[in-house]
Amino acid sequence: MTHTLKTWQKPSITPHQLGTLNKFGRPVGGDYVEKIDGVAVDDLLRDYGSPLFVLSEKRLRDNIRQLKRAFESRYQPVIHAWSYKTNYLNAVCATLHQEGSWAEVVSAFEYEKARALGVPASRILFNGPHKKRAILERCVKEGARIHIDNLDELYLLDAIARELDIFTSVTIRLNFETGYTEAWSRFGFNLESGAAFDAAIRIGNSSHLKLRGLHSHVGTFILDTRAYQVEVEKLCDFMELIEQQAHALIDSLDIGGGFASQNAVQGLYLPTEQVVPTMSQYADAICSTLITKTAQREAQGKPRLTLILESGRAVVDDAEVLISSVVGSKRLPDGRASYIMDAGVNLLFTAFWYNHKVKPTRSLQGIAEETVLYGPLCMNIDIVRQSISLPPLSVGDSLVISPVGAYNNTQWLQFIEYRPAIVMVHENGEVSVIRRAENLADINSFESLPDHLNGQFNFSE
Amino acid sequence: MNTQHHPEHPLDSFLAVYSDSLKRLALNDSGFVFDPMSGQSFTVNPCGLELLKLMQKQADVTLIEQQILQEFAVSADVLERNFLEFSEQLRRYLK
Ligand SMILES: Cc1ncc(COP(=O)(O)O)c(C=O)c1O
């Protein structure tokens, strides 16, 4: 029998909502992502497997250039320091260092990673609450800029600088109320309580430490630019105070990170484009306040302050996607469609607070309906999307999840699954593996088995 | 044509129980489905519509599947899997 067979699509029936047309009954088949920076998703999956993280070098460079332009057109000099914890893949860091970004690290590991990549210590800002003597000694010898978090660290650093007899410029981290953000009061010295002032005086009395920088990081995913205005005002007021009373001459104000990315925070119902300020709006708020607050200081002939930014997620988030494939489907008892994906919260830590965009990689036929996307873990919390409108999917269908560039490749878990490969699409369209997929030998290489536990397993017949 | 009954087919019991409910459904070719018992209306996609029409005509799962396999580019495995899931949806909606 020879006749052409009709195309099959998974049968599905969707009830109409009472009164209105089904809110999910809108065909979305046209909305799909076939290529990433010109490279076919199918080719990527064939060559590198699923799931797969894909980074766009072009997008990353565009983002950092846009940030620099927004700020430098309003104020100079500006330094962007790349917040390693946001994404410390070497290829990401190297791209940003090529664009002129310094390194902002928060642990000995991150410091070593930046140094191993070839970043000079003088271009590293060392933040964070945990710095042991050995790494502090190394930083002092190599000349990194240490951001002091607490009094114990201050005394230890002072002792080290004296022992090594090295004059060391330092920054202190401050925390305070902005009125627009939750105070991150566990990091740095509190302004309102006077702890910050005491620390500045203490450094002023040190023979080897010089207080040159003030730093604060007022939060993350900050949607109200007024938070930054208050931050800059408070930093400037404090600077004036300590320059008068604590023999300090400040060379830089580091306002931390916190600019939001185009990602949908759970519980926030307005479209992201409506709530996330543009880079120009952030830059306006920050630079205009800074210029006003430092005009008098400049008139006195003091050196112009360097503005340091540590923006993380806004730079890298939308430069990376995760491609994941459907491995199974299930109708939930309440009628919703659900799918099991080969990537879950093990790879997508940010699924706990974002509703990521999820797009099919081909035009899907059928009526979109309310759908839950589960990951592969044997855990209830492993949900990629709690509720999303998708047409019926089949096993093997792939989905592009975005944006995923911030915090996923650093906070991911090696829990019951291997972590997959990460590739970068370069500006010329070439693709390279920037982190290969894990295998059993990798994981086992950390372990050793005591001799008497090797074999002789005693299974009953 | 093989008309032998396969008693182990998981959809047999579904069709046995739901054949009356299925028969009363009003279908039109654009995929609009109306259940006069509950007053509920639905949208069904083209392949779902095909299955509904076949199920209204007969309660023999094997025959329905053979009909589909002759007309559509789908493997027997995928069809059975999809058919099962479709029946799960119908079970819930046709209560
Ligand atoms: C000190 C510091 N700088 C920069 C960042 C980067 O923040 P974001 O990704 O919100 O820009 C963080 C994040 O927690 C931080 O703690």
Nearest CA to ligand 1 atom 16: A217
Counting from 1 in the atom list of ligand 1, the atom nearest the Cα of A406 is 9
pLDDT tens for residues B48-60?
999 999 999 988 9
Domains of chain B, residue spans: 12-93
User: Whole-angstrom Cα distance, residue A293 to residue A279?
Assistant: 21
At A49 the pLDDT is 97
Q: What is the mean pLDDT of residues A136-155?
A: 98
Q: What is the average pLDDT across B64-88?
A: 93
Band of pLDDT at residue A23, cut at 50, 70 and 90: very low
Tell me, what's the pLDDT at A2? 59
Using CA coordinates, name the residue in chain B closest to A11: B48
* Model pLDDT for residues A379-429, shown as the tens digit of each residue: 889 999 999 999 999 999 999 999 999 999 999 999 999 999 999 999 999
Q: Could you tell me which of A182, A228, A218 has the C-alpha nearest to residue A70? A: A228
CB-based contacts of A415: which residues, under 8 Å, 6+ apart? A346, A377
Per-residue pLDDT of A174-185, as tens digits, reads: 999 998 888 788
Query: How many Å lie between the alpha carbon of B59 and the closest alpha carbon of chain A?
Result: 18
Q: Which of B45, B70, B88 sits opposite A331 (nearest CB)?
A: B88
B3 vs A255: CA distance, rounded Å: 77
CATH of region A35-54+318-438 = 2.40.37.10
Contact A12 B48 (CB under 8 A): yes
User: Is A18 a residue whose pLDDT tops 70?
Assistant: no
Does A12 contact B41 at a Cβ distance shorter than 8 Å?
A: no
Cβ of A15 within 8 Å of Cβ of B93? The answer is yes
Predicted confidence at residue A24, as pLDDT, reads 43
The span from the CA of A142 to the CA of A103, in Å, is 14
Residues with CB under 6 Å of ligand 1 are: A 83, 86, 104, 127, 217, 220, 256-259, 310-314, 406
**Is residue A30's pLDDT more than 80?**
no
pLDDT, position A129: 96
Same fold yes or no, A35-54+318-438 and A88-311: no
**Best of A124, A310, A318 to mutate for ligand 1, by most ligand atoms within 8 A of CB?**
A310
Partner-chain contact B86 A16, CB within 8 Å: no
Domain A88-311: CATH class, spelled out:
alpha beta
Nearest CA of chain A to the CA of B12: how many Å? Answer: 18
Cβ-nearest to B41 among A6, A8, A16: A16
Average pLDDT over every residue of A136-150: 98
DSSP-derived pairing of the beta strands A145-148 and A124-126:
parallel
| Residues of B in Cβ contact (< 8 Å) with A10 | 45, 47, 82, 85
Q: What is the pLDDT of residues A255-273, one digit of tens each?
A: 999 999 988 888 776 778 8
State the virtual CA torsion across A147, A230, A74, A145 in degrees, nearest 10: 0
Overall average pLDDT of the B16-22 stretch: 89
Compute, in degrees rounded to 10, the torsion defined by CA atoms A377, A379, A381, A385: 40
Q: Give yes or no for residue B1 having a pLDDT over 50.
A: no
Element (H, E) at B51: helix B46-57
Which B residues in the span 7-66 are in contact with A, Cβ-Cβ below 8 Å? 33, 40-48, 50-52
Gap from A59 CA to chain B (nearest CA, Å)? 39
**Residues of chain A positioned with their CB less than 8 A from the CB of B82:** 10-11
Task: For residue A39, give the DSSP letter.
Answer: E
What is the dihedral sign for C-alpha A204, A206, A210, A215?
A: negative
What does A107-153 look like in DSSP terms, one character per residue?
SHHHHHHHHHHT--GGGEEE-SS---HHHHHHHHHHT-EEEE-SHHH
Position A28 confidence tier, pLDDT thresholds 50, 70, 90: very low
Nearest residue of A to residue B67, measured between CA atoms: A5
Q: Can you state the angle between helices B12-24 and B76-93, rounded to 10 degrees?
A: 50
Give the residue, B43 or A26, on which the prediction is more confident: B43
Q: Which residues of A touch B86 (CB under 8 A)?
A: 11-13
β-pair partners for A380: none
Write out chain B residues lying below 8 Å of A6, CB-based: 71-73
Residue A17 at interface with chain B, using a CB cutoff of 8 Å: no
> Is residue A19 scored above 50 in pLDDT?
no
State the complex-level ipTM: 0.91
Domain limits of chain A?
Answer: 35-54+318-438, 88-311
Rounded to an integer, the average pLDDT of A71-89 is 98
Select from B40, B72, B89 the Cβ nearest to the Cβ of A331.
B89
Query: Phi first, then psi: what are they for A219, rounded to 5°?
Result: 150, -175
Q: In angstroms, rounded to a whole number, what is the distance separating the alpha carbons of residues A173 and A147?
A: 6
What mean pLDDT, rounded, does chain A reach?
93
Strand bridging mode B40-44 / A13-15? antiparallel
pTM, 2 dp:
0.84
Question: Is the distance from CB of A24 to CB of A383 less than 8 angstroms?
Answer: no
Q: What is the mean pLDDT of residues A156-183?
A: 95
Best mean pLDDT range from A55-59, A275-279, A365-369: A55-59
**CA A199, CA A79: separation in Å to the nearest integer?**
25
Could you tell me which residues are beta bridge partners of residue A422?
A53, A435
What is the CA(A10)–ligand 1 centre distance, in A?
A: 45
What pLDDT does A16 receive?
Answer: 77
